[in-house]
Chains A and B, each alone.
Chain A
Amino acid sequence: MKKISITLIALMVLLFSSCSTRKFIIEGTPGTVITKGNGKQLGIIGSNGQTKVKLGYDFRYDQGFVPYLLSRHPDNPKEAVPFALDFKTERYVLKHLLWAPTIYGYEVVILSDGTMQKCYKYTTQTTNHDLVQPNSNAK
C-alpha cells in the first residue's frame, strides 16, 4: 500500500512538472525578430533559418494559450506580422499512463471517455511574411 501511494505521488509530481514550458521551432528569414503580442521578444531567427522559442502552456499559472506571435522582418522591422501557432494533440489509452509522463514535451490529461491525451504541443511554425505586401498603401 505504501509503495503504491509513493508511486502515485511520484507520478503526480511528474505529471505536474510536465505542465511547464516547451520549446518549439520557428522558421523564417534570418534576422527576423519573434515577439509576443505585447512586444516581448522571444527570439531571433538565426542563419540556419530557425530559432527555438519557449512558451508555457499551463493553466495553473499565469500562462494561458498563445494563439499567435508576431514577427518583424529585418527589411521592415517596424512592421509586425502575426502568425498563428499550430499545435497538435495525440491520444494514448489509459495503459500508457505509467510511461506517458516520461515523454519530454508532452502533457497528459485524462479525458472524460477514460482515455488519455497528451496536452497540446506547439509545432514547428513558419512566419507569414510571404503573404504581406511590405510597401503597399491602401489608404
Chain B
Amino acid sequence: MKYSYLLLLGGLLLASCTSNLLLKSVSYQSFRNANKNAVSNKVDIPQDAEIVVEPILSADGTLNVIVTNLTDSVMVIDRTKSFVNTGENSTTFYDPTVTTQTTSDTKGGTKGMTVNMGTVADAFGIGGVAGGLLGAVNLGGTKDNSQTTVNTTYIQDIPQVSLAPLGRSDMKRTFQINGMGNEFLDQLPDCNQIVDEPRNSYNRFSICIVYSLNNGATWDKITSLFYANSLIVCNVKERGKNNEALRYVLSNKPDYNKESWYRLYFNCTTRVDSETPTSFTVQDLFDYK
C-alpha cells in the first residue's frame, strides 16, 4: 500500500516538471508617420509648432491618443469634431452614449425589507459632466426596518477639453485597430511585408484633432496619417530552434530598432520567466503642426 503511495507521489513530482515548452513564433510590427517631412525626434520639433499628436498603440490592438499643447495659450479641443479614422469608419472622440452606474447600500434589520429607490428624473438634462442623483421612493413595507439606498450615476462624455499651456492630455477614448496586437499576430503564418508607401500598407489609421487657441473664436486642425510599414512573422519550425525564427525577423529588418514605433513579440505557449517580458515596444510615433 505504501509502495503505491510512493509511486503516486513520484508520478506527481515528475509531472511537476512536465511542460509543453515551446516558443511558437517571433513577430515584428512597425508603424510610421506618413508625413515624410516630419522630424523623427521630438527635440527637433520646430519652435513655432502648436500641437503634438501621439498615437499610443497597445499589445491588445487598441489605440489611445495623447495631445500636447506647445503654446502658452489655453488650447480647447473639440472632441465632437475630432476623429480617428481606421480605414473602415471614422469615429469621433466624443461618445454620445450615456452610461449609468448603479450602486446599492443596505442598512437596518434582517427581517423583511423596505426598499427606497432613487428617482432619476431629468437625469439626461444634465449636460457635459457626470451627474449623480439620489432619491427616495418607497416600494413596499414589512415589519422590518432595513433600507436599501440605490445610487444611480449618469455618465456623459465631455464634448470639449481644455489643455493648459504646455499641457499634455489623453483624449480619453480607446479605439480598436485591426491588424495588430498579440491576438492578431498569434494566428498568422509566416509573412514578410515591408512597404514604403502608406497606400500599400495593410494597416493605416488617421487622427484629426480640431483645436482652438482663442477660446473657440477660430478653429484649426491637424490631420495625421500613420501606417504599418512592416509585418514579419516567423513560426518556429523545429522544437527548440528558436533563434532561427528571430534571425529570420532580424535579417529581413536589420534596422528593426530604428523605427518610430515597433514591437518585437515572442509568442510563448508556456509560463515565461518573470524577468523576461515577452515583447518589447518602442513608442515614439507622433505628428505635429
Contact = CB atoms under 8 A, between A and B. Distances in A.
Interface of A: 1, 4-5, 8-9, 11-12, 15-16, 19, 36-38, 40, 55-56, 58-60, 62-68, 79, 81-89, 107-111, 119-120, 123, 125-126, 128, 131-133, 136-139
Contacts of B242: 67-68, 84-87
A5 B254 contact: no
Contacts of B41: 139
B240 A120 contact: yes
Contacts of B272: 64-67
Interface string B207-243: 0000000000000000000000000000000011111
Interface stretch (B16-24, B53-61, B125-133, B180-188): B16-24
**Max chain A CB contacts within 10 Å: which of B41, B264, B276, B280?**
B276
Given A59-B16, A87-B240, A109-B14, A128 B276 contact: no
Given A138-B258, A139-B258, A139-B260, A110 B11 contact: yes
14 contacts: A8-B6, A8-B7, A60-B16, A62-B274, A68-B246, A82-B264, A110-B14, A125-B243, A131-B251, A133-B258, A137-B40, A137-B255, A138-B255, A139-B32
A128 B41 CA distance: 27
B275 A38 contact: yes
Given A110-B11, A132-B250, A19 B270 contact: no
B275 A11 contact: no
A89 B20 CA distance: 12
